[in-house]
Each structure stands twice: as structure tokens, then as C-alpha cells.
Amino acid sequence: MRSLELIDSWPVSTAAAAVVTADGRTFARGPAARPFPLASVTKPLAAYAVLIAVEEGATELDEPAGPPGATVRHLLAHASGLAFDEHRVVAEPGTRRLYSNSGFEVLGDHVAKATGMPFAEYLRQAVLDPLGMTGTGLPGSPAKDGVATLDDLSRFAAELLTPRLLAPQTLAEATAVVFPGLSGVLPGFGHQRPNDWGLGFSLRDHKSPHWTGATSSPGTFGHFGQSGTFLWVDPAVRAACVVLTDRAFGPWAAEAWPAFTDAVLAELPAA
């Protein structure tokens, strides 16, 4: 895909990108096996492990977890009321969309207790090993400390397009609006009304500004990370895109990423 060549002009030392289609094709550019820090692109991986734990019966979405009145569902949807990077309650559960790293850390602890193993090990057994993601690991927080290669994250993108580890209806629930209508800040892009979110997945909807493209469908879901990374899945074209860089998110990314996504989408036929 010619659009992938755009990463060569970005103000970064190293970038890698891939487009994965639901019919099994992968187009890639840049180092495939180099590990990159994922930052918050860790969250969809962690959320997938949590959803597998739900399907296995180790925990339940509406099981109490986190602050009083909050559940696993609240934590996954950034609606628990926990602060961004502190284990401090700043709102009643279900009343505000407060993007929270600490909420995902509480989730990791909750699943670790429910499964009887460290969360990183559960993630490995539930998600990474079955998908062949041998270059991916979680050396720290399930909110932001994942490390992965382009090849590995492309495998995860393929799973999001055609789920094998989760029931399709579970993924559909995870990528639909949870606690609709809540306002909140989309990190790096300001206040959004509403700031709709799924179960661990950021939803495109009609947010503006946004890190995906102007032509991305409202059904697009995924995540971006402050380490200069993103993953989106657009059901309208039945394709996903992964980008990894070695430069932190900033104005350069807010400008380059949407144009890049629009160029990718222009090369993909509608589903």
C-alpha cells in the first residue's frame, strides 16, 4: 500500500506500520520484529484478557471492583470515578468519563486475584501465546507498560477483525458505547461531549478532533498511546491499522495521524 510510505516523512527516528484486512492480507512497512513501548495501546490487550476472564467465569462484568459502587464494567469503561494516575476517587461511578490508568491497575489486581496468577502471566496465557505474540510482554502496569512488535500487534489486530479467543458477541459489546452520554477529556484532544467509550476500547463515534481520520467510520475503535503508537479497527472497510514509533505523542502526531489514516482508508474498498 502506497499510503504506508507516508511514515517515511514523519519526524521520528523509527516508525513501523501495518494494515491488516479481514480476508487475511497484511501490508507492512518498517521493522517488523523491533519491540516498541506501547503506552496506552497496552489497554486493549489488557481489556481483552479481562474479557476472556469474564467468558471463562473467573470474574463478571457487573462484579464489584474498585471504588464503592464500581464494577469491572465501570473500570473497563473509564467510568469508575478513579483519578487519572492516582488511586483516589474523584467522582461517583457512572457519572463521568474519567480516563484512568489507576482503574486499569485495579482491574489487573482484580483479575490476578480471581485467576490466582499475576496479571501479566494471565495475559500471556490467555492472549499472547494463543495469538503467537512471542515478542510482546507486560513488565509493569496493565495500563501503560506493554511492549510489542509490529508483527505481534498485527496479529492482535487480526484477532479484533475476526475474533477467535472471544465470542463475537462479547467483542461487539466491548466495542459499543458503555454508559452512554458521559462527558470527559480525550487525552491529547480535549474535552468531548459525549466522550463515548467501550470496554477498554476508545470509540471514534463523531468525536472531533480525533486521532483517527476524517473519513474513519463512526464504528471505528481502538486506542492510541503517548509513546507514539496507535491501533484502530474500522468495520466499514473490515480492516485494521497499527502504527509504532519511537517518538512520544505530540503535535506532530495529532497532525500526521489523521492524514495518514485517511490515506490508508482511501486505498481500502468499503465492506
For the chain, 271 residues long, give each residue's pLDDT as a single digit of tens. Answer: 899 999 999 999 999 999 999 999 999 999 999 999 999 999 999 999 999 999 999 999 999 999 999 999 999 999 999 999 999 999 999 999 999 999 999 999 999 999 999 999 999 999 999 999 999 999 999 999 999 999 999 999 999 999 999 999 999 999 999 999 999 988 888 888 899 999 999 999 999 889 999 999 999 999 999 999 999 999 999 999 999 999 999 999 999 999 999 999 999 987 6
The alpha carbon of residue 31 and the mean position of all alpha carbons in its chain are separated, in whole angstroms, by: 21
Domain boundaries, the chain: 2-266
Among the listed residues 128, 172, 126, the one whose alpha carbon sits nearest the alpha carbon of residue 147: 128
Residue 49 · residue 123 · CB < 8 Å: yes
Residue 189 pLDDT: 82
* Per-residue exposure over 242-264, b if at least 16 CB sit within 10 Å of its own CB, e if not: bbbbeeebeeebeebbbebbebb
Question: Which of 3.40.710.10, 3.40.50.720, 3.50.50.60, 3.20.20.80 would CATH assign to domain 2-266?
Answer: 3.40.710.10
Q: What predicted TM-score, i.e. pTM, was given to this entire model?
A: 0.96
Predicted local confidence at residue 185, as pLDDT: 84
pLDDT of residue 188: 82
What pLDDT score does 271 carry? 63
